[in-house]
Chains A and B, each alone.
Chain A
Amino acid sequence: MQTLKKYLAVASLGAVLFSGCATDTVNVDMNHDKGSAVMGLDYRDFQASAQEMVDSMLSSGALNKRGGGRYVLVISRIINDTMQHIDTDQLVKKIRVGLLRSGKVVVTTAVGVGGAEDKMSMQTRKDLRGNAEFNQKTVAGKGNMIAPDLSLSGKIIQRNIRVDSSTQRAEYYFQMSLTDINTGLAFWEDERVIGKQGSNQSAAW
């Protein structure tokens, strides 16, 4: 009986201690996030890089179309050459939104490297054209799509460097190019480098 009481006391103490160790879940204020840096890429890195790229593109004047109006932009391949599983839209979407809001560019989703980004614009044409169930005046006509003028491509590169037995350094290169599709000439290019240093125990992937 005495032993059972002891076990119960230890178990109770353990339960109390462990319940106190649980980390509370909180919402992160994304506009004022003072969380510690991580060795991998996080949203702050994508946000800062997108910000720099948009600023650089607008400052360069490469988006000023001769005679006014807006360029039509297509998103080309953004290569993820890092050890991390990255959806490159984390970067590209921010840039697209920034450029769209600048009033200088409109992005086409009807063309893309691996086919249309939004397949519906082509699908509706195939399915609805000549379909008696649909008022043909409301179906998108032939020759209405606008071909892109510019193509945005890029690459994210990672380099890991061992500093000493306990420290590593990770360098991330964000490289982007804006190509005039008509001539094949790059109107604008830029690169942003992010460097991180931390423990060898931290995984940079």
Chain B
Amino acid sequence: MKVIFAGVVFMALLFSGCVNTQPKNNIAQVTDKCLAGSISITDIKGAKQSDGFMKTQIIGQNRSDSYKKLEYKIVWLDRNGFVIKSILSKWREASADANQPFYITNISPNTKADDFRLYIRQQNKEIVCKH
């Protein structure tokens, strides 16, 4: 048993299947080693709506036999790559049922958003891993 307090692990850049709607540089980072074992991000979509807001949909997969409560945040960037400060970029909760895909949908804080980055972590204070 090993306790891991933090550790930002770069997990996956999955760009397949959504070339037309994919924002330029969106990156899925799973900010916990243990989480990376059972949770994966399988699809990231982002598209500008007619009103100028950007809508995102992230599809992930929980490959474990247990329900998992996750936390995620989306950092929104404008077309020059500057971060857009917003209440919508705080950590939020998401749930993933055992052996099921899970979906996260979000809207950009304003019409200036042109790109985004997704971070996911497990909610527990400390993550216990079995090696």
Contact = CB atoms under 8 A, between A and B. Distances in A.
B111 interface: yes
A97 B88 CA distance: 11
Given A48-B92, A50-B87, A59-B107, 7 more contacts: A51-B92, A52-B92, A55-B88, A55-B106, A94-B87, A98-B88, A101-B109
Contact of B93 (A48, A50, A58, A98): A48
B131 interface: no
Nearest to B105: A59
Place the interface of chain B in its size category: 10 to 19
B110 interface: yes
B87 A58 contact: no
A34 interface: yes
B86 A98 contact: yes
Contacts of A102: 109-110
Contacts, number: 41
Contact of B110 (A31, A47, A97, A103): A103
Which 4 A-B residue pairings sit nearest by Cβ, starting from the closest?
A: A98-B87, A59-B107, A34-B125, A58-B107
A55 B111 contact: no
A173 to B, nearest CB: 17
B71 to A, nearest CB: 11
A183 B82 CA distance: 40
Given A48-B92, A61-B51, A64-B51, A55 B86 contact: no
Given A50-B87, A101-B86, A55 B107 contact: yes
A98 B90 contact: no
B88 A51 contact: yes
10 contacts: A48-B93, A51-B88, A51-B90, A51-B92, A54-B87, A61-B51, A64-B51, A101-B85, A102-B110, A103-B110
B53 interface: yes
Nearest to A64: B51
A54 B88 contact: yes
Contacts of A98: 86-88, 109
A47 B92 CA distance: 10
Contacts of A94: 87
